[in-house]
Structure 1
Amino acid sequence: MSIYAKDTDPAFQAAGAKLGLEIWCVENLKLVSVPKSSHGRFYSGSAYVILNTVLPKSGLPQHDIHYWLGHDTNKVDSALASDKALELDAALGSCTVQYRELQGQETGKFLSYFKPCIIPIEGVYTSQKEHLNGETYKVSLLACKGDHVVHVKEVPFSRSSLNHSDVFILDTASKIFLFSGCNSSIQERAKALEVVQYIKENKHRANCEVATVEDGKFVGDPEVGEFWSLFGGYAPIPQDPPSSVQKQPDTPFVKLSWISTQGKLHPCQTDSLSKEMLETDKCYMVDCDSEIFVWMGKHCSVTERKTSISAAEDFLRNQGRSAGTHSTFITEGLEPAKFRSYFNNWPQMVETKLYEEGRGKVAAMFKQQGYEVKELPDEEDIQPFIDCRGTLKVWRIDCEKLSLLPASEERKIFSGDCYVVQYTYLGNERSENLFYAWLGCGSVMEDRRDAISHLNAIVDSTRGNPVLAQVMEKKEPSQFFSIFQTLIIFKGGMSTRYKKFIAEKGIGDETYDESKTALFRVQGTSPNNMQAIQVDPVSGSLNSSYCYILQTGTSAFTWIGNLSSTRDHDLLDRMLELIIPTWQAISVREGSESDIFWNALGGKADYARAKEIKGYIEDPHLFMLSTTEGSFKVHSHIHFYRHAFISTVGRPFSIWHTFGTQFHIQSIKL
């Protein structure tokens, strides 16, 4: 659920949550979702809203919004598509770039979404069971232009439509002809051939012939003769007239205008443009002759943005500008490189990475001295000690009972409970077992004792030489998280003793409930090692080094700390789908929180903002325990060597491995 639900079209529910294309069409003054099977099929009598979401190498997902207008679209649908595009932008946090696309004059960016092309269809889109508006198959002539992306346009089926500069496709019921003008480029011919293949597979179900016709080829060729016979016989194509396109001046025409709240344009009298001229509470239009940009300040309302977009469209209409004049609508802070190029000395937005620069200089110095320099692996690149593709079993302790959790619940544990974990994996040509007793911070002493007792009982019934470990919540070794891969730790507990304890103490039950406010800290090193830890739902629980999920019972937020990494953002999205898969969360960056967000946490308060430094981890120590004639001895070995234990007592004994504050116990029979 989203706080935008009452202000945003229901069709946009969960929009932008997944990567790739999402398309809506205006039908009966409402937006309807276009299924993936129909992506790329645009009707000339309809208006569409298109959202493309990509995940860059670093940072948050990026969104581009296009609204496409067919040449037969009425003014009402066109205006509605424009408003809906702005509405979608607001729902995504006003962090998108919007493009106005006209049929036949689409931007290269838009066409690149559809491989190999789009071919507009006459008529109006309907969300009913798809059909071609009842029309029968008809012969059509298509003109193809473009070396990188293809502009495909249906032209009149007439010899006069042909020329020497373009590539044409004649589509008939039984055969597709590809006609290449003698002045067309190799790239254009190759792209047009992709379009031919697309038409063959999608319109003819791959059941038709394909013929190529070269401009100027002898008519005696059977396929060439067949092609010209469809036009009533061969006749020479007139020479292409000289291009009427004038050479663009070296210095493009650029004019800046401020747009008032009434939608009036006020030209700014200046010979050069600078970023300082753009005020954050106003909207501006930059007229570059062949295209226009509408720049909208961060502090402008949605109403002001709608007014500025309408003003720009009215300007193009009143000026009689070419249909090929592209319109791009930009929010402050998301200016593309082309827009910035029209301004003098636009400030660079690149952050100086002092650490990266310093590391490189130090490495270079050592290399000059003849030392080999290797970079330490990132935390997520460190390989686990054991195979983490084994099988997992998890039991919850409830009084003296041991309850095996179903597979769907074994990666969801509560801090008020205790658990026994068995992990079985393939070791040296045989199965190995690793056991943990996990003791939640809020668990009662009786449950902890029973957990150890049950652990020993299970180990005694297990063959081989199992490894045992006792783990306290918040002190888990990395290996524990690695075998779970995905782990959610909820507050509260399900144990009978825990429920009885909080009742006797008069403590409120904070066990996780989807209808109540809950805050989760997301952490981990990779999708194979990630955790969500429920923390107190107060502002003081936040930390700039992490990302969080806030669930209020009526809405959900994702909070992104300023010191979090791209990897953290990826884990945040994955965890969100696991905890509240049916909710659309509102993404909030640190520093841009709304009052609704802070109120859900009981008000704004101080929290940790410095980079979290991990505590010092002691080197591992190995102790050998032995008993001889009633005496108990402990021997410390600095290094781990298997032969250090062979010549000891001839009875079962235990080896305790200590990693920091954790003990790992292995029972071995010699």
Structure 2
Amino acid sequence: MEWRQDPSRLQDCMLPFQAAAGQFGPEVRAPGLRVWRVEKMKSVPLPPSEVGVFFNGDSYLVLENRGELGTDLHMWIGEKSSRDEQVACAMLATQLDNFLGGDPVQHRQVQGYESPEFMTLFPRGVSYKDGGVESGFRRPQGSGTAVQRCYQIKGKRNIRAKEVELSWKSFNKGDCFILDLGEVIVSWTGSQANVFEKQKVREIASLIRDAERHGKARIVDSNEGEEPAEMLEVLGPKPELAESTPEEDSKADASNSASLYKVSDATGSMSLSKVDGKSPFSKELLLRDDCFILDNGANGKIFVWKGVGANAKEKQAALQMADKFIEKMNYPKMKTQVEILPQGKETVMFKQFFKSWN
């Protein structure tokens, strides 16, 4: 499969934004949470007084700078926001990404289909309102705020980790789960989990410890019925959990499959070609001078990897690449999440599709 696009279109779209250069100040490099509403091709900073309220006619930029732990840039798209606003949001995200040296991991969040990672930014929850009235988000939290995330490990042949709601409602007896609490990582095994899931949960827990905590977190292995105090403190008393069936593992295998595509403009226009092989892929396939798309669309996610040596046109067109790919594969655009990763800032969810990623 191959498609091409003209990169000059990107440059034409960027022209109206050149006058807006400089609207992001040096304060965005400091740790904290910052939010901007898109207004007439400009990013307007919002006050922190209205926490977690989103207007469905707007688009927003949400920047979470965690200092040495990394930076995430979210583009939130309201279900009734105009196409012009959505394009402007993407362009402003590119501008902010460039201002920060291309370091942020970028995510596109669509109203009603936000990732669990995004939702945890708002501990009091989020609410939607009609219209396009100015909204606000939560105050930046201190650097000591504990990480709290939950991952489900499911499958038999294509076993993958997927971030899920931080609640006992996400658990069942037939799978394994990881509760990431920052300094403590709980590796939990359901009584009916298969041997492949048991092996994978240890691998993912170790990967989180080594890649995201620099080896400083403590892994606590736990079986169903032997939950540690740290786990119960966050989730509360354990209720009766649902059973699991082999059919569910087979279904998960299908949705956990992935393909890898190389993107290049060596011929003067963007081209996409499928890389031979199956997941898990060799890490050496990711060439520093190119961009790649990892297709996990069956599970509702597309990753764009940007090599440090890729040219500016390829890097700027990362979101366009993802959108074009989603359209080509007939994936639902509103439901398919996009994550853009600069080389060296890969997430655990991306690394799990590759062999022996240290």
TM-score normalised per structure 2: 0.58
- Please say if 1:12 is aligned against 2:16: no
Cα deviations by residue, 1:166-221 (Å, 9 ceiling, x for unpaired):
xxxxxxxxxxxxxxxxxxxxxxxx99xxxxxxxxxxxxxxxxxxxxxxxxxxxxxx
Whichever residue aligns with residue 148 of structure 1, its letter is: L
8 Å contact kept, 1:295–1:332: yes
Q: How does 1:542-553 map to 2 (within 5 A)?
A: none
- Please say if 1:27 is aligned against 2:5: no
Offset of 1:274 from its aligned partner? 1.1
Whichever residue aligns with residue 166 of structure 2, its letter is: H
The residue that corresponds to 1:258 in the other structure is: 262
Quick one: which of 313, 331, 354 aligns to 2:323?
Answer: 313
- The verdict on how the C-alpha distance between 1:319 and 1:33 changes in structure 2, with shifts beyond 3 A counting, is same
Whichever residue aligns with residue 36 of structure 2, its letter is: W
Distance (whole Å) between structure 2 residues aligned to residue 114 and residue 295 of structure 1:
27
Quick one: which of 98, 115, 118 aligns to 1:107?
Answer: 115
Offset of 1:104 from its aligned partner? 0.5
8 Å contact kept, 1:8–1:91: no
Whichever residue aligns with residue 42 of structure 1, its letter is: F
Offset of 1:284 from its aligned partner? 0.5
- Please say if 1:343 is aligned against 2:350: no
The residue that corresponds to 2:66 in the other structure is: 54
8 Å contact kept, 2:35–2:63: yes
- Please say if 1:249 is aligned against 2:274: no
- Please say if 1:292 is aligned against 2:302: yes
- Please say if 1:94 is aligned against 2:102: yes
- The verdict on how the C-alpha distance between 1:42 and 1:302 changes in structure 2, with shifts beyond 3 A counting, is farther
The residue that corresponds to 1:66 in the other structure is: 74
Whichever residue aligns with residue 306 of structure 1, its letter is: Q
The residue that corresponds to 1:148 in the other structure is: 166
- Please say if 1:80 is aligned against 2:88: yes
- The verdict on how the C-alpha distance between 1:252 and 1:311 changes in structure 2, with shifts beyond 3 A counting, is same
- The verdict on how the C-alpha distance between 1:278 and 1:27 changes in structure 2, with shifts beyond 3 A counting, is same
8 Å contact kept, 2:46–2:134: no
Offset of 1:297 from its aligned partner? 0.6
RMSD: 2.8
- Please say if 1:270 is aligned against 2:282: no
Distance (whole Å) between structure 1 residues aligned to residue 165 and residue 350 of structure 2:
24
Offset of 1:96 from its aligned partner? 1.4
- Please say if 1:37 is aligned against 2:49: yes
Distance (whole Å) between structure 2 residues aligned to residue 251 and residue 102 of structure 1:
21
Q: How does 1:94-173 map to 2 (within 5 A)?
A: 94-126=102-134, 147-148=165-166
Distance (whole Å) between structure 1 residues aligned to residue 133 and residue 313 of structure 2:
29
Q: How does 1:334-373 map to 2 (within 5 A)?
A: 334-346=345-357, 348=358
The residue that corresponds to 1:331 in the other structure is: 342
The residue that corresponds to 2:14 in the other structure is: none
Partner SS for 1:65: strand
The residue that corresponds to 2:312 in the other structure is: 302
The residue that corresponds to 1:283 in the other structure is: 291
8 Å contact kept, 1:66–1:100: yes
Cα deviations by residue, 1:450-469 (Å, 9 ceiling, x for unpaired):
xxxxxxxxxxxxxxxxxxxx
Whichever residue aligns with residue 83 of structure 1, its letter is: M
Distance (whole Å) between structure 2 residues aligned to residue 255 and residue 100 of structure 1:
20
Q: Which ranges in structure 1 are unaligned for 5 or more consecutive residues?
A: 1-5, 128-145, 150-189, 192-242, 349-670
Q: How does 1:466-545 map to 2 (within 5 A)?
A: none
Using the aligned pairs only, state the percent identity. 26
Distance (whole Å) between structure 1 residues aligned to residue 324 and residue 60 of structure 2:
20
Partner SS for 1:256: strand
Offset of 1:62 from its aligned partner? 2.1
Whichever residue aligns with residue 118 of structure 2, its letter is: F
Distance (whole Å) between structure 2 residues aligned to residue 65 and residue 345 of structure 1:
27
Partner SS for 1:86: helix
- The verdict on how the C-alpha distance between 1:244 and 1:287 changes in structure 2, with shifts beyond 3 A counting, is same
Offset of 1:268 from its aligned partner? 1.3
Distance (whole Å) between structure 2 residues aligned to residue 44 and residue 98 of structure 1:
21
Offset of 1:306 from its aligned partner? 2.3
8 Å contact kept, 1:29–1:80: yes
Distance (whole Å) between structure 1 residues aligned to residue 20 and residue 47 of structure 2:
21
TM-score normalised per structure 1: 0.32
Distance (whole Å) between structure 2 residues aligned to residue 82 and residue 277 of structure 1:
28
Bigger radius of gyration, 1 or 2? 1
Distance (whole Å) between structure 2 residues aligned to residue 302 and residue 7 of structure 1:
19
The residue that corresponds to 2:156 in the other structure is: none
Distance (whole Å) between structure 1 residues aligned to residue 63 and residue 327 of structure 2:
26
Partner SS for 1:22: strand
Distance (whole Å) between structure 2 residues aligned to residue 94 and residue 316 of structure 1:
23
Offset of 1:147 from its aligned partner? 4.7
Count matched residues.
Answer: 229
Distance (whole Å) between structure 2 residues aligned to residue 260 and residue 66 of structure 1:
25
Whichever residue aligns with residue 47 of structure 1, its letter is: S
Distance (whole Å) between structure 1 residues aligned to residue 293 and residue 87 of structure 2:
19
Distance (whole Å) between structure 2 residues aligned to residue 36 and residue 315 of structure 1:
36
- The verdict on how the C-alpha distance between 1:244 and 1:333 changes in structure 2, with shifts beyond 3 A counting, is closer
8 Å contact kept, 1:263–1:308: no
The residue that corresponds to 2:222 in the other structure is: none
8 Å contact kept, 2:52–2:122: yes
- The verdict on how the C-alpha distance between 1:7 and 1:286 changes in structure 2, with shifts beyond 3 A counting, is farther
Q: Which ranges in structure 2 are unaligned for 5 or more consecutive residues?
A: 1-17, 136-163, 168-233, 236-246
Whichever residue aligns with residue 313 of structure 1, its letter is: D
Larger RCO: Structure 1 or Structure 2 (Cα < 8 Å, ≥ 6 residues apart)? 2
Distance (whole Å) between structure 2 residues aligned to residue 147 and residue 51 of structure 1:
21
8 Å contact kept, 2:29–2:100: no
8 Å contact kept, 2:42–2:92: no
